[in-house]
Amino acid sequence: SSLFFIFPTRLSSSLTLPWADSKVEKSKQLSPVTRNHQKFITKHFPSVTALSDLRLPCSAILGNPRARELLAMAFWWPLIVLALAYGLCRFLFMLIPVNVPSIDVDVSDVTEGNQAQENSFIYIPPRGRTQQSETKVQCYEPATMKYLGYFPALSPSEVEERVALAKKAQTVWAKSSFKQRRQFLRILLKYILEHQQLICEVSSRDTGKTMVDASLGEIMTTCEKITWLLSEGERWLKPEYRSSGRSMIHKKAKVEFHPLGVIGAIVSWNYPFHNVFNPMLAAVFSGNGIVIKVSEHASWSGCFYFRIIQAALAAVGAPDNLVDVITGFAETGEALVSSVDKVIFVGSPGVGKKIMRNAAKNLVPVTLELGGKDAFIVCEDVDVPHVAQVAVRAALQSSGQNCAGAERFYVHRDVYASFVTQVSQIVKSVSAGPPLTGRYDMGALCMQEHSERLQNLVNDALEKGAEIVARGSFGHLGEGAVDQFFPPTVIVNVDHTMKLMQEEAFGPILPIMKFSTDEEAIKLANDSRYGLGCAVFSGSQRRAREIASKIHTGVAAVNDFASSYMCQAILSLVFT
């Protein structure tokens, strides 16, 4: 209370003391607060010796250091208190649960044991895609070869019809509010968090990955994207004012962001949930419609995930057909590219080139995420046991079928031997088998005949002088699924003349090569036609950043692996 005195009753050239009213009778008792003020004034201003000193010059206060300090406190403290109160209110407001409705999604035909009797058999697909029926997309579990069903391969005319319906719906959705779009995201997030087990099981059955890989690659990344859009999406889509330049200083320059229309997304099979939701979330939040062509190797899961999207859109009153999922082969994808307003593609460089050629006919803009051959650089000043653990995860996650998976390991010669020993010990303990049994560390390969291709890459390296120093083991595999697995493999004495160090493997193989200087490591890392990502490990953050900055890749991780996938501010696609 002693601070209150510094707010004067009257402030002009002098300061009136609150107890110095000439009309107050001497016999009247002073209040405790006023008495404290009196003591404070007489202590810090000795010149005031009696209550009869009715007025105190302002210069006396301003000349006293303690008084100036108290005056400054009196000015700033209320502002600080108000700011803290505002921040506390905002925080408490965030804790108030938003009314998010639940949605019902039919899961009767995707849960284990509820499959129709006529579909409960082992499926042996014909070798070679040309032998597969072009009117049906057959689906099966890679880890067990159990048949899952089929979906139609849409014709070009059917694709054009679906896109036309999406364009009609998009004209309505483009006028929706951000409040409505955020509610759509919240509904999805609630369903995902409440049904993580189901989502991961569906992904595991359709692609052969373990539940852990599904949780990391499907759930975590998708939830992070949703939360980022909820907190940051609207800000990035608001109009921006830019400098108008010296000659136009009397003008205003503003950039506005408008929806493009209908996005066409052709997505890969390795992470079916994330690869469907990733472009869909950004497209819908920015006011677009989207038609997603799922891979023929993951159509079963993609079509189930589409039900989740449909239910959430219906819950917020979005128009029908705003989002659509289509199935088919190359002809279906080609028709989609020529019908939409922008194309998003995740897949191989060869298919990416075809998409660019088709899109160029109608000047359709494209965004491509193509193959990778990520370098993993280990300097001599690292904690080798720790980095070895990260290296194995970087190579074996999702059985090596990871866009940003590490495929080339460059290790400084001073720690090369110890690194190889540590990695070999870990890999030898890894077992591969049917993922839903819960007994194995690594699952199956998704694509038929992929294990044969991986073995060809290994054989080429062995013929040119490489050596296998460690391999993992297999668990109990079904007779028809043996070819869907490949053992985790560590190979040394490799060089860049080998296909294994040049071509994208997309499998659980760790080729390890030594280097002597940072410049040599940079040169080796850049000796590739791929440039998706890299990882650099060093005991010196500065050294690791300097090496990473000289590697020609889109993203780089320093003393970490694939952490950029959890940083949506640099990865999110916004279609405006």
Residues classed as catalytic: 369
Helix (H) or strand (E) holding 75: helix 65-95
What CA–CA distance (Å, rounded) separates 163 from 552? Answer: 37
Task: Tell me the sheet residues that pair with 293.
Answer: 266, 326
First to last CA, the chain: 57
Say which DSSP state 90 is in.
H
C-alpha–C-alpha distance, residues 223 and 565, integer Å: 12
Whether 446 contacts 402, CB under 8 Å: no
Nearest to 437 by CA among 109, 115, 141: 141
Residue 547 in tokens: 């090496």
DSSP annotation string for 407-469 = EEEEEETTTHHHHHHHHHHHHHT-EE--GGGS--SB---SSTTHHHHHHHHHHHHHHTT-EEE
Q: Give the SS3 label for residue 324.
A: strand
C-alpha dist (Å) from residue 91 to 86, 240, 432: 9, 27, 46
Contact 289, 261 (CB under 8 A): yes
Which tokens sit at 548? 């990473």
- CB count within 10 Å of CB 2 equals 12
Q: Report which DSSP code applies to 556.
A: E
Question: Token digits for 40?
Answer: 């404070």
Query: How far from chain centre, in Å, is Cα 339?
Result: 28
Q: Tokens for 208?
A: 């052969």
Q: In the 8-state DSSP scheme, what is residue 470?
A: E
The pair of structure tokens assigned to 28 is: 């009247």
User: Are 456 and 421 spatial neighbours (Cβ–Cβ below 8 Å)?
Assistant: no
